[in-house]
Amino acid sequence: MPVDIEMEQVHCFDRLSETWRALEVDTEASFFQSWTWVGCLATERYPDPILLRARRGGRLVGLALFNRRRGRLHLAESGDPERDRPFTEHNGPLATDPEAAAALLRAAWRPDGARRLVLGGVPPDLPALAGGIALRQQVREAPFLDLEALRVAGGDYLARLSANTRYQIRRSNRLYAAGGALALAAAEDAATLEAWFGELTALHEASWARRGQPGAFATPWLRRFHRSLMARALAEGVLDLLRITGGAGTVGILYNFRHRGRVLAYQSGLADPAGEAHARPGLTCHALAIDHALARGDRVYDFLAGGQRYKRSLADRQVSLVWAELARAGSAAGLLGRLHGLWRRRRRDLARTA
């Protein structure tokens, strides 16, 4: 049965929320496709929103929310670098099946003035479903730990790590446990969330300041976004804000989400290890959080996109995510992009035969 697409300008995000959440139940949506994330401060993140609806036989089978900015349609993002600093991953149309998702992406070229399509943090096969020509494309690996496979293998997480990583974790744990045992606690109410948010942001910003860079909470808007997101996630039971303490106080706070058995390690604030050669606050915190997730029955501990060494050390698998900008196939930009693509492939072929 064919998929029919309807396009509309969004005028009421509250009404869209009801439709979106109802469809979520029938899909395998990631946390970043849920209304908890997509709808957070939606009126600010999508000032020119375009919604595509997919129906099959009159039944709703897909939704895709775009923001139109400077001739580009951005899937579930604003296109404004400041508003998009809360990083979106595992992105894509909210759809019950691949056919509906593909129909939504192909229809994204319809809105007036849409010359480019921007897809951030999507599965590798998704850009091709939209048609068009890739002007830029970046692939990032997202490491994760398969907790179900770990349980089948006996559940001893440390035993499956390399000898060096295992040694570093145990040495760091002993350091932080001196004077008092390591403990993990989860935020369960608004008062705790408020208290821990201040500590999280202070630790996080201090860590990034030591690197000479702004952190994830560096502006008033970013702090407001994350306060709102945390409150929404706490109310819906998907916030996994964990505080790890030892004999000397806080080791770190992990700002995670927990969605359908998948723990997403989104941000963190870690103690300054200065002067302590054996301190590895990140390894200590994530190792305890993984044990917590194992005991709770979660399926996956997802470190999200990035090549940081600790992610590769603690994970046992990875998936690829793509950030792409596409142009219409017949446009001047599309033709130029096709030529560049042919040139790049030709260079690769020559390099292989050299």
pLDDT of residue 354: 59
pLDDT of residue 246: 95
Residue ranges making up the domain that contains 167: 143-319
- The CATH number of residue 267's host domain is 3.40.630.30
Same domain, 234 and 157: yes
Dihedral sign from CA coordinates of 131, 68, 112, 55: positive
pLDDT of residue 250: 96
pLDDT of residue 83: 95
Same domain, 164 and 274: yes
Which of 104, 131, 158 terminates a domain? The answer is 131
In 3D space, the residue among 293, 248, 292, 289 whose CA is nearest the CA of residue 271 turns out to be 248
Distance between CA atoms of residues 246 and 126, nearest Å: 45
Same domain, 174 and 305: yes
- The CATH number of residue 69's host domain is 3.40.630
Distance between CA atoms of residues 77 and 88, nearest Å: 8
Distance between CA atoms of residues 26 and 62, nearest Å: 10
Flag whether 327 is in a domain: no
Same domain, 310 and 240: yes
Burial of 341 (0-12, 13-18, 19+ CB in 10 A): middle
pLDDT of residue 228: 98
pLDDT of residue 350: 55
pLDDT of residue 190: 96
Same domain, 179 and 265: yes
Same domain, 16 and 127: yes
pLDDT of residue 332: 45
Going from the first residue of the chain to its last (354 residues), give the mean pLDDT of each consecutive group of 10, the final group possibly shorter. Answer: 94 96 97 98 97 97 97 96 95 97 95 91 96 94 96 91 95 94 97 97 94 92 97 97 95 98 97 89 97 97 94 95 90 49 53 60
Number of domains in the chain: 2
Same domain, 196 and 238: yes
Same domain, 239 and 162: yes
Distance between CA atoms of residues 120 and 127, nearest Å: 10
Same domain, 40 and 112: yes
Which of 131, 155, 182 terminates a domain? The answer is 131
